[in-house]
Amino acid sequence: MKRVLTALAAAFCSSAAGACAQEPEPPAPPKIEALAPAPDPNDPAVLKRRADFAEAMRQVDKRQLVFNASSEDVSLEGALTQGGLVFGKTLAGAKVRLDGEDVMVGDDGRFVIGFGRDAAPSSLLAVTLPDGKIERVALKIAARDFPVQRIDGLPESEVSKFSKADLEKIAEDKKLKDAARESSENKEDWRSGFEMPARGVISGVYGSQRILNGQPKSPHSGIDIAAPTGTPIRAPADGVVTLAEPDMYFEGGLVLIDHGFWVESALMHMSKVEVKAGERVKKGQEIGRIGQTGRATGPHTHWSVKWMGIPVDPQLLVQDGPGAGAPVAAGAGEKGAQ
Ligand SMILES: [Zn+2]
């Protein structure tokens, strides 16, 4: 069955070497039989809905004017964009929240925040300083265009149908990954900076999406680096190995590395895994070899980076990560007006 699935997956993947589809697909959305009629512009309900929307937009504008674009006590570097990871520093002992969610802060006041592929245009960073004062910084998140490929007229396939044994293996794999992801070290391994884990051709980029017969598939969560089987794969940054498995259903040979502060790398499809769970690794250290294991259409490794479980763009990290010397551009936040 697995061989059949791989073959079918190959039929749907781009002809470029090493494309992959490592994540299970979401369930198909319900089919819409007919389009709703256009709203009547004079209908009181439509008028009220539009007035409410305009008022909500004014409130959003007001909220952004209240908060400054920057704070003397908070510095940020990295990519304030969809798929970007941003590295911050504030006073030791401060607490940080992003859009209402607690963020891990080191003893020295350093922290990491991330933005997914479909992140909203603005986010609110709230920093409670040791003296109790709260600094609020409005962050403007730049939008990006991601490649979307539509393929229609494909025969209805068996690609998303799994045998009972496949489903059991997928569930077992998930347990292993969940256990590996239960915690993250309060250790700033991510400060080593990031580099490409293998030499090869980028055959798949972050955020790209296929729409097959009108059904959107999961966006690509990382990058694919295609290279001959046996090519070394190296740790993209310092960290601790939390999972090292040779035969996962989707990922094949998989290594998960915790870089601290909920920043995690996953390296997939390895022909050989050369580290063990619990092992500490340094940036550039060999951890395995390129392969075609799991759901892969050619020899490559898929490298994904997640922050708090949200996939971010590894290529941005290599360009703008810690130590790359790229401070967040002035004007990246909303202008403070008061
Ligand atoms: Zn991939």
Identify the H or E element spanning 53.
helix 44-66
Q: What is the pLDDT of residues 285-304, one digit of tens each?
A: 999 999 999 989 899 999 99
- Residue for token pair 């996939």: 311
Tokens of 8: 């079918």
β-strand partners of 300: 226, 291
Q: Return the H-helix or E-strand segment holding 55.
A: helix 44-66
End-to-end CA distance of the chain: 64
Each residue of 76-96: pLDDT tens digit?
A: 999 999 999 999 999 999 999
CA-closest candidate to residue 2, choices 310, 234, 257, 247: 247
Give the distance, in angstroms, between the CA of residue 113 and the centroid of all CA atoms in the same chain.
12
Domain ranges for the chain:
44-140, 147-320
Q: What is the pLDDT, as a whole number, of residue 336? A: 28
Q: d(Cα 78, Cα 72) in Å, to the nearest integer?
A: 18
Q: Which CATH class is domain 147-320?
A: mainly beta
In the predicted model, residues of the chain with pLDDT beneath 50 are 1-18, 22-23, 26-27, 29-37, 65, 158, 326-327, 329-338
Q: How far, in Å, from the CA of 163 to the mean position of ligand 1?
A: 23
Tally of CB atoms within 10 A around 261: 26
| Distance between CA atoms of residues 46 and 184, nearest Å | 48
Alpha-carbon Rg for the chain, nearest whole angstrom, is 22
What per-residue confidence (pLDDT) applies to 43?
Answer: 78
Ligand 1 centroid, distance to 251 Cα (angstroms): 9
Q: List CB-based neighbours of ion ligand 1 within 5 Å.
A: 20, 204, 224, 302
How many whole angstroms from 268 Cα to the centroid of ligand 1?
8
Report how far residue 251's alpha carbon sits from residue 304's, in angstroms, rounded to the nearest whole number. 11
Cα gap 245→283, rounded to integer Å: 20
CA of 5 to the centre of ligand 1 (A): 16
pLDDT of residue 8: 32
How far, in Å, from the CA of 248 to the mean position of ligand 1?
A: 14
Which CATH architecture group holds 44-140? Sandwich (2.60)
CA of 223 to the centre of ligand 1 (A): 6
